[in-house]
Structure 1
Amino acid sequence: MAAQSPSLVAAVLAHSGRLEKEVLGTQIARLSRRVGELRGEVCNMINKKYKEFLPSMQSAEDLVSQVDSLSSNIDLLKSRIENEVRQDLNVAIAEFTELKQQLERDSLVLSVLKQLQEFDRAIKNYNTALLEKKYVAAARHLEKARSSLKMLESRKGFELKVLKALGTELTVQTQNMLYHLGEEWRQMVLWKLPPSKEISSAETVMQMELHLCTMPLNEDQLSGPPVASVLQAFAVLGELHTRLKLFGQLLLKYILKPLISYPSLRPLLEEKPDTVVLHFESAEPNLEHPSPVEVFGKITLVLEVLHKHLLNVSLDVCGENEKDSRVILAEMLGDMVWEEVSGCLIQECLVYSIPANSSKLEQYVEVIKSTEDFEKRLKNMGFLKGDAMDLLKYARNVNSHFANKKCQDVIVAARKLMTSEIHNTVKITPDSSVAVPKLPDPGAGDHLKMQKASKMLHNELINLENETRLSQHTFSLPTCHISVSVEKLMELAYQTLLEGTASTDQCCIQLFYSVRNIFHLFYDVVPIYHKENLQKLPQLAAIHHNNCMYIAHHLLTLGHQFRYRLTNILYDGAATFVDLVPGFRRLGMECFLAQMRVQKGELLERLSSARNFSNMDNEENCSAANKAARQVLHQLKRLGKVWQDVLPVNIYCKAMGTLLNIALSEIINRITALEDISAEDADRLHSLCRIMLEEGPLVFTPLLEENKNKKYQEEVPVYVQKWMMFKELMIILQANLQEIVDRWADGKGPLAAEFSPTEVKSLIRALFQNTERRAAALAKIK
């Protein structure tokens, strides 16, 4: 068909009575030229209006009417062409295809012109609505203009220079709209904040005021509070979240958190003709920490005011790629602040409402009920979603929180006692006992355990009934002084275990192991915290020794006393403290032995100035030796005074006996090492030894009553291992050869019991000149 001549096509078309091709082509060409001219004029007009800012409103309206007329002609022509092509497609497919493509390009140009027209109309309507303060309508017109501009920008091949000017204009108008909305928002929701940005006290917060406008705008498009139209306009422009987030931050910082943290604050509501003012007043708080019931009431009051005058509105929120959706403003704000509010309520309020004693757990039901009511009110107002139960879950888990809090309080109290002064003491006697709490009668579930225990005890008593009875003080701690803090620490342990007997199984287990942790903490903390004083002060070392022995003494039976009162999980030997006993005994002994080593070093240092007790006929040497002996006795007496009535009598005597024995051993070793002792030297050494012999026993004063100390002074040989040896040395220093031989008595006398043959021979050689008599005497010492 394409090969046929135009005349044949014309003949066929003319024969069929339809429009001639040439005429149709001419009209389309004319129409295309007209579209091109019109495009130039429209672009020129838009460019002048938005880029060159020239008033061309009348030209635009004329062009609009021309565009509308031209558009209808195009539609008619397009319809006729399509009819011709359908009826005789084989005749003129190439010609009509070209014509149709040209027409489609013209249609695309026309659609661009329509979008420019829509943009212009939207901006015009926006300006009109903004002047009338119809903010919702203005925001929607602005969004229509934005939509038109996006469609224009998406047309490939039509990158018009005017689009940049249109984009600038849209940005300017958007910012202008946001400015007006911001001014309206500030007038309707006015914050008067304190000068200081930091909240340091309740007085600072009392300078805050929140003013909420109650007069509606001229625009009455939305039901709800007066500020609803402003909020809806923010929502349309996509600025609602930002605006509400800033409001939520101020609400948290200056209202909600202070109400939780400061019990003295109370919210006040002042209603004026066109405004509601929310501020604070101060009242004397009843408690150090706020009551949950009171705090819930305060926060509910504040949120009810906000709900009534600000947040009780449902808004349309349009996402870029979403259909319109509704959002409740109260729920939106709740999502922003609730996590922080609930955390603050738990940490600053609910934590402190947990009972410190299991007997008060029943009273906590009121707190649980008020928490449930509080969350229900917030859900009714829309602040919380239906599944939000953070506070209620925390409140209902009171048993676990009670156990955690109790354990924490116990450890804190124990640590405070451990870091208090050691020297404040109390006297412990075999007749005294710790304030052991009275245990409740066993419950029904404990009868089997009690019967089993009674049967075991009965069998043991039968085996012992024929034995000699033991003293009532057989297993008692001997009389001594311990720190007041340690006595209170042990009472704390007993009271905590008693608390466990009346608690749930889980709480009982936690409390039991908290008591064990107390003793582990003592073992780790006290020796380090008081290290310097324990090393320097002998009295504190003795008290610490007693403290450790006192704790170990109670640990032997502490678990057994509560064995049948604790949960079944701790039954059958699990509830025991016996494994801690060796560690505490070792801790006390190591500290005291370290102090003994310090005292030993001081004694030997004093005796080192005695010039080895040689050449006693020299006045300086004699004076130095006597001074050293006096210093030793002075040190022992001073030590005896600080340990007197502190250490148990047997420990005191052993300690003093050990130190005196060290001094006597050093003196004996120094004298027996001398190679030459003159008669005058022997007399002076004997006098020095007499001082030690007479005054040494006087250091044994374990009791305050002097008359009772004589018994222990007479038993010096029991505690001082070298005492008899020292006495024999004194006898040798004054004896003649025959007396020495007699006391040796062929290795069976008292002298042989204390000295070896070598030592006796050495002393004889030092004391006596080399004569036949000395040689005979030496021969008998074997």
Structure 2
Amino acid sequence: MASFVTEVLASSGKLEKEDLTGKINKLSRKVEDAKEEVCDMINKRYNEFLPCMQGAEALLGQAEDLSKEIDILKSCIETEVHQNLHTAVTEYAKLKQQLERNTTVIAMLRHLEEFHLAMEEFHRVLLEKKYVNAAKQLEKARDSADSLKAWKGSELPLLRALSSELTVQRENLIYHLGDEWKRLAVWKLPSSKETKGAMSFLKTELHLTLGGTKEPQQSLLSCVLQALAIQGELQHKIKLFSQVLLKYILKPLIMYPSLNVEVSEQQGEGTVLSIQSAETPEEHSSPSQVYTKVLLVLKTLHTHLLGGHPCIYSWSLHIYLLGAVWGLLVVLSVILGDLVWQEMSHCIIHECLLYSIPTDSSQLEQYNVVIKETEEFEKSLKEMQYLEGDSTELLKYAQDVNCHFASKKCKDVIVAARKLMTSEMHNTVKITPDSRLSVPKLPNPGSGDNKGKQGAKKPEAYMLENEKQLGARTLCLPVCRISESVQQLMELALHTLSEAVGSSTQWYALMSLSATAGVTYNLLKFPHLAAVQHNNCMYIAHHLLTLGHQFRPHLPDPLSKGAATFVDLVPGFRKLGAQCFLAQLNVQRAEMLERLSTARNFSNLDDEDNYSAASKAVRQVIHQLKRLGTVWQDVLPVNIYCKAMGTLLNSAISELIAKIMMLEDISTEDGEHLHILCQTIIEEGPLVFIPLPDEHKNKKYQEEVPVYVKKWITFKELVIVLRANLQEIVDRWAEGKGPLALEFSSSEMKSLIRALFQNTERRAVALTKIK
């Protein structure tokens, strides 16, 4: 073979084409033979799984010699082609193309050689538990296989065999790494049925064993993690680990103050993290306690699991030099921090910081200690690279203490208000024009934060203005009764606003106003409670008129400039109270009309049964009015009480008038009976207008019945007509100018006369006079 090359180099300038072609063809046949033998060997090794290692080294040596001869021949040919360019372009181009194909084949054989050597080395180091080296060899084999796939015309069955072998061995490596991981990071957990309450987590332990390894200056645990990272499985393993860590260690330590964490070093066995019991009377952990416990856990993991081994830095540098997943492996703490931070910080906020918010504005200054502790906590996490960035929800929550304090305080106010609103309404207190709510002493609007405000008036100035314009009884409630809980509710509102005045935070002042306004009631159907409900709403509306103005000069901007008023809520409360009471009046009116419907239309009263039914209906109406009077006496204001009773009585007599006017024939006996029934109403009806029977001065309301009962005069005129003769009726008509004509039309009176009197000349004359 060497003599052939010497002869080619020794040529004087011109190559004999026939001789050169023959030699190249001979060389090509040798290359093809080598290719077939190598592919046959690789197929038997990785596809047919036949033990065929004999002659492999000789074949590789032969391939190397062929490669050298091809390089020499290629150089020589290129020189001759340039010398004889015009005469042998086509022949030499074909020869060069054939040599390039041979070069490609040799390159493929080299990749096959590299794949085979990497796989052999992988099996060797895997048996020795050199997992990092095993992972690297597997990646080298993968690179060789990928290079083979890039060549066109590659042997497809052979590539499939190589890919299958890579997949099998990668799964084999991952299985070994997972098995080692389970052995080196061992969890001892309570059963899923036991994870209720703090005591169930006392069985939680985490054993971290470094393990021995043949790698220099590396623990087995760190080598396992590095190998997982090279194979792209580290993220999945750390994710599963973080889920268990959150559920069984971090969250219980945050939620239960009676739990603590203990770190112990066991000689020859590694580090143990265990949950221990700690006696404490506190219901919720303080931020300082939570931060201390969480940092102890994370520092232990950082030292013994994630970043505390010397191999981490060499490992990271190696990965960087290889150009692989560098961002994932700078420090494993970043991965774990990303996985646990959001859920852990959310738990700290809702299980710890939420309960550490002060309940009194005087404690707000002391909360700066918690803010400082939160900053130090996050600083420690950043140093261990669990946390990245400058702004976090945890620190923001602690820094927004004023807003959270206002929100918490307002929730407490709403809870207290709701408790008062759902308490018994039957317990009432009497309100008089002299009743006053005790307003706490307010600071001088000219001092403190409001000092120097332009246009701010002193309380004396407001009092002087009011004295000039308003009387002593202006904006005073009438005598009535309200629920004791509503009075306490208004006192709560005053106390809340007074504390808001003393607070330096505008958020608290603003939200206190909102909380004070959050009052509502449901409509009630019982007469007594409906009246109390009406008074309650009117009482609240009354105080809403002045509540904001009392505190406006003392509140921070912009509330002091007119925003702190509740006047817009007044119509809503008034409407609510009116709707409740009107609904009750409609219920009572419907009951009253239903009772009158049983009177058999007040016809044929000479029949004893008919008269008994009519008399019973009238007596029931009178009894209903008296019962309502008893219920509403001393509850409703006098004017509201009289209007309500007048409305109901007016509905009753209007129904009675309508039924009598519908009668077509009224005998003398019927007229007498009707007169008796109507006279009963005239005598007993006004009695319900005496709100307080023991006070004779209120008898004036009995004399003012026509003011509240629109049909009262009409009813009295009807009663007179029932017992009058024709002449008396004509006289009271007085040619359309008498009292009878003011209440009835001529057609109504003629119809009534025809029903009361027989058809005689006297009746006819009387009818002609009714015009």
Q: Which residue of 2 aligns with 1:132?
A: 128
- 1:544 equivalent to 2:539? Answer no
Q: 1:31 to 1:720 in 2, by over 3 A?
A: closer
Q: Which amino acid aligns with 1:558?
A: L
Moved more, 185-194 or 125-134: 185-194
Spell out the pairing of 1:358-377 with structure 2 (5 A cutoff).
Answer: 358-377=361-380
Q: 1:690 to 1:121 in 2, by over 3 A?
A: same
Q: Which amino acid aligns with 2:294?
A: I
2:213 touches 2:220 (CA, 8 Å); kept in 1? yes
Q: Secondary structure at the match of 1:568?
A: coil
Q: Which residue of 2 aligns with 1:438?
A: 441
What is the CA–CA distance in structure 1 between the aligned matches of 2:220 and 2:299, rounded to whole Å?
16
Question: What's the offset of the Cα at 1:182?
Answer: 0.6
Q: Which residue of 1 aligns with 2:568?
A: 579
What is the CA–CA distance in structure 2 between the aligned matches of 1:15 and 1:672, rounded to whole Å?
149
Question: What's the offset of the Cα at 1:489?
Answer: 3.9
- 1:610 equivalent to 2:638? Answer no
Moved more, 268-277 or 547-556: 268-277
Q: Which residue of 1 aligns with 2:222?
A: 228
- 1:635 equivalent to 2:629? Answer no
Q: Which residue of 2 aligns with 1:486?
A: 486
Q: Which residue of 1 aligns with 2:544?
A: 555
Residue of 297, 306, 312 corresponding to 1:302: 297
Residue of 652, 655, 659 corresponding to 1:663: 652
CA RMSD of aligned residues (A): 4.1
- 1:564 equivalent to 2:553? Answer yes
Q: 1:27 to 1:636 in 2, by over 3 A?
A: same
Question: What's the offset of the Cα at 1:126?
Answer: 1.0
What is the CA–CA distance in structure 1 between the aligned matches of 2:158 and 2:108, rounded to whole Å?
12
Residue segments in structure 2 that go unaligned for 5+ positions in a row: 1-6
Residue of 289, 292, 302 corresponding to 2:287: 292
Q: 1:708 to 1:109 in 2, by over 3 A?
A: same
1:330 touches 1:381 (CA, 8 Å); kept in 2? yes
For 1:50-74, what per-residue CA distance to the aligned partner results, in whole angstroms no more than 9, with x for missing partners?
A: 2222223342123233333444444
What is the CA–CA distance in structure 2 between the aligned matches of 1:584 and 1:13, rounded to whole Å?
115
Question: What's the offset of the Cα at 1:180?
Answer: 0.6
Residue of 389, 392, 397 corresponding to 1:389: 392
1:543 touches 1:646 (CA, 8 Å); kept in 2? yes
Q: Which residue of 2 aligns with 1:62?
A: 58
Q: Secondary structure at the match of 1:146?
A: helix
Moved more, 209-218 or 294-303: 209-218
Spell out the pairing of 1:178-257 with structure 2 (5 A cutoff).
Answer: 178-196=174-192, 201-222=197-218, 226-257=220-251
What is the CA–CA distance in structure 1 between the aligned matches of 2:384 and 2:363, rounded to whole Å?
33
Q: Secondary structure at the match of 2:636?
A: coil
1:259 touches 1:266 (CA, 8 Å); kept in 2? yes
What is the CA–CA distance in structure 2 between the aligned matches of 1:15 and 1:124, rounded to whole Å?
46
What is the CA–CA distance in structure 1 between the aligned matches of 2:322 and 2:61, rounded to whole Å?
34
Q: Which residue of 1 aligns with 2:138?
A: 142
- 1:162 equivalent to 2:151? Answer no
1:508 touches 1:567 (CA, 8 Å); kept in 2? no
Moved more, 38-47 or 275-284: 275-284
Q: 1:777 to 1:91 in 2, by over 3 A?
A: closer
Q: Secondary structure at the match of 1:245?
A: helix
For 1:507-541, what per-residue CA distance to the aligned partner results, in whole angstroms no more than 9, with x for missing partners?
A: 1573266258626xx3xxx3xxx34xx3x322232
1:122 touches 1:145 (CA, 8 Å); kept in 2? yes
For 1:150-193, what per-residue CA distance to the aligned partner results, in whole angstroms no more than 9, with x for missing partners?
A: 11121112325322222222211111111111110000112233
Spell out the pairing of 1:326-475 with structure 2 (5 A cutoff).
Answer: 326-407=329-410, 410=413, 414=417, 422-423=425-426, 425-442=428-445, 443-444=447-448, 445-446=450-451, 448-451=454-457, 454-455=460-461, 458=464, 461=467, 463=468, 470=471, 472-475=472-475
Question: What's the offset of the Cα at 1:593?
Answer: 2.3
- 1:591 equivalent to 2:585? Answer no
Q: 1:374 to 1:124 in 2, by over 3 A?
A: same
Q: 1:704 to 1:518 in 2, by over 3 A?
A: farther
Q: Which amino acid aligns with 1:369?
A: K
Q: Which amino acid aligns with 2:498?
A: L
What is the CA–CA distance in structure 2 between the aligned matches of 1:478 and 1:324, rounded to whole Å?
82
Q: Which amino acid aligns with 2:576?
A: L
Q: Which residue of 2 aligns with 1:276?
A: 271
Q: Which amino acid aligns with 1:56?
A: C
Q: Which amino acid aligns with 2:229?
A: A
For 1:476-513, what per-residue CA distance to the aligned partner results, in whole angstroms no more than 9, with x for missing partners?
A: 21232333443344344434433443445651573266
Question: What's the offset of the Cα at 1:144?
Answer: 0.8
Q: Which amino acid aligns with 2:118?
A: A
Q: Which residue of 1 aligns with 2:98?
A: 102
1:516 touches 1:577 (CA, 8 Å); kept in 2? no
Q: Which residue of 2 aligns with 1:647?
A: 636
Question: What's the offset of the Cα at 1:104?
Answer: 3.0
Moved more, 240-249 or 493-502: 493-502
Q: Which residue of 2 aligns with 1:6?
A: none
Moved more, 648-657 or 377-386: 648-657
For 1:683-702, what per-residue CA distance to the aligned partner results, in whole angstroms no more than 9, with x for missing partners?
A: 43444344334433443463
Question: What's the offset of the Cα at 1:307?
Answer: 1.1
Q: 1:135 to 1:496 in 2, by over 3 A?
A: same
Q: Secondary structure at the match of 1:336?
A: helix
Question: What's the offset of the Cα at 1:232?
Answer: 0.6
2:125 touches 2:134 (CA, 8 Å); kept in 1? yes
Q: Which amino acid aligns with 1:477?
A: L
Question: What's the offset of the Cα at 1:33?
Answer: 2.9
For 1:219-261, what per-residue CA distance to the aligned partner results, in whole angstroms no more than 9, with x for missing partners?
A: 3353xx6511001111111211222222222222333233334
Q: 1:264 to 1:424 in 2, by over 3 A?
A: farther
2:13 touches 2:80 (CA, 8 Å); kept in 1? no
Number of aligned residue pairs: give it: 754
For 1:85-114, what per-residue CA distance to the aligned partner results, in whole angstroms no more than 9, with x for missing partners?
A: 667767866665554443333232222222
What is the CA–CA distance in structure 2 between the aligned matches of 1:545 and 1:639, rounded to whole Å?
15
1:640 touches 1:656 (CA, 8 Å); kept in 2? yes
Q: Percent identity?
A: 59
Q: TM-score, normalised by structure 2?
A: 0.85
- 1:174 equivalent to 2:170? Answer yes
Question: What's the offset of the Cα at 1:263?
Answer: 4.1
- 1:501 equivalent to 2:501? Answer yes
What is the CA–CA distance in structure 1 between the aligned matches of 2:379 and 2:61, rounded to whole Å?
62
Residue segments in structure 1 that go unaligned for 5+ positions in a row: 1-10
Moved more, 249-258 or 113-122: 249-258
What is the CA–CA distance in structure 1 between the aligned matches of 2:38 and 2:651, rounded to whole Å?
120
- 1:311 equivalent to 2:306? Answer yes
Q: TM-score, normalised by structure 1?
A: 0.84
What is the CA–CA distance in structure 2 between the aligned matches of 1:24 and 1:272, rounded to whole Å?
78
Q: 1:735 to 1:28 in 2, by over 3 A?
A: closer
Q: Which amino acid aligns with 2:440?
A: P
Q: Secondary structure at the match of 2:330?
A: strand
2:733 touches 2:739 (CA, 8 Å); kept in 1? yes
Q: 1:503 to 1:476 in 2, by over 3 A?
A: same
What is the CA–CA distance in structure 2 between the aligned matches of 1:321 and 1:272, rounded to whole Å?
37
What is the CA–CA distance in structure 1 between the aligned matches of 2:163 and 2:9, rounded to whole Å?
51
What is the CA–CA distance in structure 1 between the aligned matches of 2:177 and 2:690, rounded to whole Å?
93
